[in-house]
Amino acid sequence: MSHDSTAAPEAAARKLSGRRRKEIVAVLLFSGGPIFESSIPLSVFGIDRQDAGVPRYRLLVCGGEEGPLRTTGGLELTAPHGLEAISRAGTVVVPAWRSITSPPPEEALDALRRAHEEGARIVGLCTGAFVLAAAGLLDGRPATTHWMYAPTLAKRYPSVHVDPRELFVDDGDVLTSAGTAAGIDLCLHIVRTDHGNEAAGALARRLVVPPRRSGGQERYLDRSLPEEIGADPLAEVVAWALEHLHEQFDVETLAARAYMSRRTFDRRFRSLTGSAPLQWLITQRVLQAQRLLETSDYSVDEVAGRCGFRSPVALRGHFRRQLGSSPAAYRAAYRARRPQGERTTDSEPSPPPPPPSLHPEGPGPVPPQVRRTATAAAGAVGSSASLPSEHAREAYASSRASLPGQRSGS
């Protein structure tokens, strides 16, 4: 699943400065970055595959700091270019950042801001989104990153509209992706945007990957929450919700348990988890349904009741939206992949399904307009200390308020 912003046509109209070339792609590497993510744009944009019908890009590998750059397994890399080479690129890719808790070098952030001001397309793969956010390039925009780091991104940069469900988000001149393989999805999307479906398909065949992947990150999510939640008053409410997914309750019930208004609860919950409460609750119910379909022989109707859905129809709708298949098809595919002897069934009885009359409205489908903005983190709880580059990031964000292609924060 991808998110193509409606702002993209406006952003596409921005012109590159005279010294930049559309076909030049600069990849910005840092010491401590994982080698897999770092190699993705190098492979996609750095190999001549014109014989396969893939238009050629010109690749510039740039060191974001003094080298040599140490990467996964203790390997040392020497980038052939420095930050000055970014000034020639029409696209700048940050494939990863070494730590979601440490600030990137200010010189690299300045180079990214200049590139964006001069019309370059800026791309962050996986934790590279943290570098873009530190530069102020994601303020007021939709973005994604690895689902495990999405809550931290939303909490540290509350003006970024973080959506942990998407494989990648295209907001025109600024693009972000989820972890690892999703970086390939986004790079293929860039080739498709630049040169069409045929070129992207030819490249996908060379890489032996699907041209497009359906679904998003939902199938990979687990029940873990940010470590910071343990010290927050909402931790007890979240724990209660996870223990009572078999009951039919709604967000108003959770807000009441937290002794908050619905509006305050929504804001606090978003700042803590990176998700809107309704979106999070539905995702947890679908995850519970996955587990029951994998480990029990309950019918789909029984699974719906034991996961708090108001009806099997509601389960099927949310399940298909999040995982791209029906519950029955998911169970069949799961069992086909596993030897019969490995499949286990629930040894402990689960609570009986609740009567359908409770909360007849139940959690309904998430409208598209809610999906687009539901994860906007506002009023972060217990925000971490300001990073050294925060003032520069805020100054840049305010100075570009009228740039074409920028999505408003509303």
pLDDT exceeds 70 at position 81: yes
Place of tokens 């939902």: 218
pLDDT > 90: percent of the chain: 42
Looking at residue 405, its pLDDT comes to: 35
> Which residue bears the tokens 């959690």?
363
Give me the pLDDT at residue 283, please. Answer: 84
Residue 44: predicted pLDDT: 94
pLDDT the model gives residue 406: 36
Among 94-108, 113-127, 283-297, 373-387, name the most confident range. 113-127
pTM: 0.59
- Higher pLDDT among residues 204 and 210, named by residue: 204
Has residue 396 got a pLDDT over 90? no
* pLDDT tens profile 11-45: 445 688 888 999 999 999 999 888 888 899 999 99
Q: Grade residue 298 by pLDDT with cuts at 50, 70 and 90.
A: very high
Mean pLDDT, the chain, integer: 78
What is the C-alpha separation between 107 and 30, in angstroms, rounded? 12
Quote the pLDDT of residue 366.
34
- Which of 64-73, 290-299, 361-370 has the highest mean predicted lDDT (pLDDT)? 290-299
Q: Could you report the per-residue pLDDT of 98-149, keeping only the tens digit for each?
A: 888 889 999 999 999 999 999 999 999 999 999 999 999 999 999 999 888 8
Mean pLDDT across 174-192:
92
pLDDT over 80 (residue 362): no
